[in-house]
Structure 1
């Protein structure tokens, strides 16, 4: 399409949503966040170059991503913001209210329970679980913390299909096993441990320590590029002291008797 812009329309020959590449799916929430900002500012149309620049991708990549959703348009007009918001929300399943369970109500779990951005993205906290007796029974942002033994009953009763695991690493696998057995089919884990799940269950893992270590690697590379290689230190070899006549030792007597 070159530099030409297109107004968003649905193509009858659009590819199935299941055929959307994973890399495209990962970029859609970023596009949607930018579109919500534009809509809040009263912007009704946006060019691919403008939207791409706002999310730091190329216009060509953005147009290709949107084409996977069956989104094309009319030359010279640009994309309709409201239409894109609707289409991306539908693809991401945000037109439903997805109940979410959080297992592990330590510092991270509490922060997630207090996060206010879930509701605007079609997600809501349905249940909190922990194994610590001092935490069970307390309230966090209006939600009672239940014991992990109640996962099977409450998850099934409240129709939870998405869960967050914020437990210690050792508890990650049994926690995931219990969630899957209760009907959870999508898990986001912060536990920092690899977990095994049956086919049909989606797991996304976020290891905060590893992510920070990767940032440390990049910082080290930046520092090396900035400072460059340190100059080699020249080794200074002191000159030998002159021989003193009449002194004892090899310096004075060297060659004597020849």
Structure 2
């Protein structure tokens, strides 16, 4: 289903709501008000209602939201009602940490291919998955129906890797390299720069 243009910040909050609802569901809650959901998610209830309104009408006035139904709907909106095959490029320390992170698989993101260009790493196995040379990425993306790519390479190589991913048919990229990527609009991207996150925290510590 297509929705009207939604701010990225609202989409990110949907993930927080979905996690909060999953926790409530595990605790046996059947209904929740926007005030309660906002309190648990540490987000104002007015913002909760505004965010949900982008995607339709939920809940009943005076009764709140069905925890199970709202959680199901938000997971559907976020694409978490299916599995996604993921390619990881970069078999260094960061790449290995990302590959080993169990949270991806729990949410339906399965790293099914790992690539590098270091001859010393090619053909080594991580939990039974063989590291492939980056030149094999296009054929493996097609073979394994990979939709998402993760970049964990030095910044000097990130742009080239991202372009290779896009040409191979990958539609979304999560970039861990500290570099801004320039990609065609049909190839969506997100960036996680851990140094910037620490810099933001250090800013507040100096005040």
Q: 1:108 and 2:94 equivalent?
A: yes
Partner of 1:92: 78
CA distance in 2 between partners of 1:206 and 1:133 (Å): 27
Partner of 1:181: 167
CA distance in 2 between partners of 1:109 and 1:177 (Å): 19
Say which of 179, 183, 195 aligns to 2:181.
195
Q: What does the per-residue CA deviation read over 1:218-242, in whole Å, with 9 as the maximum and x for residues that have no partner? A: 1111xxxxxxxxxxxxxxxxxxxxx
Q: What does the per-residue CA deviation read over 1:108-151, in whole Å, with 9 as the maximum and x for residues that have no partner? A: 11111111112222211111111122222112233211111111
CA distance in 2 between partners of 1:70 and 1:141 (Å): 42
In the TM superposition, residue 17 of structure 1 has moved relative to its aligned partner by: 2.2
In the TM superposition, residue 16 of structure 1 has moved relative to its aligned partner by: 4.2
Greater CA drift, 59-68 or 135-144: 135-144
TM-align CA RMSD: 1.4
Q: Secondary structure at the match of 2:12?
A: helix
Q: Taking structure 2 as the reference length, what is the TM-score of the superposition?
A: 0.95
> In the alignment, is the contact (CA less than 8 A) between 2:114 and 2:131 conserved in 1?
yes
In the TM superposition, residue 18 of structure 1 has moved relative to its aligned partner by: 4.5
Q: Secondary structure at the match of 1:118?
A: helix
Say which of 107, 120, 123 aligns to 1:134.
120
**Which structure has the larger Rg?**
1
Partner of 1:69: 55
CA distance in 1 between partners of 2:134 and 2:182 (Å): 19
* Runs of 4 or more above 6 Å deviation: none
CA distance in 2 between partners of 1:48 and 1:111 (Å): 36
Q: What does the per-residue CA deviation read over 1:141-179, in whole Å, with 9 as the maximum and x for residues that have no partner? A: 332111111111111211111100000001101101110
Q: Secondary structure at the match of 2:130?
A: strand
Q: Taking structure 1 as the reference length, what is the TM-score of the superposition?
A: 0.77
Structure number having the greater helix percentage? 2
Q: What does the per-residue CA deviation read over 1:88-114, in whole Å, with 9 as the maximum and x for residues that have no partner? A: 111111112110111001111111111
CA distance in 1 between partners of 2:60 and 2:201 (Å): 42
Q: Secondary structure at the match of 1:17?
A: coil
Say which of 108, 111, 118 aligns to 1:122.
108
CA distance in 2 between partners of 1:47 and 1:218 (Å): 33
In the TM superposition, residue 199 of structure 1 has moved relative to its aligned partner by: 2.0
Partner of 1:228: none
> In the alignment, is the contact (CA less than 8 A) between 1:113 and 1:141 conserved in 2?
no
Unaligned runs of 5+ in 2: none
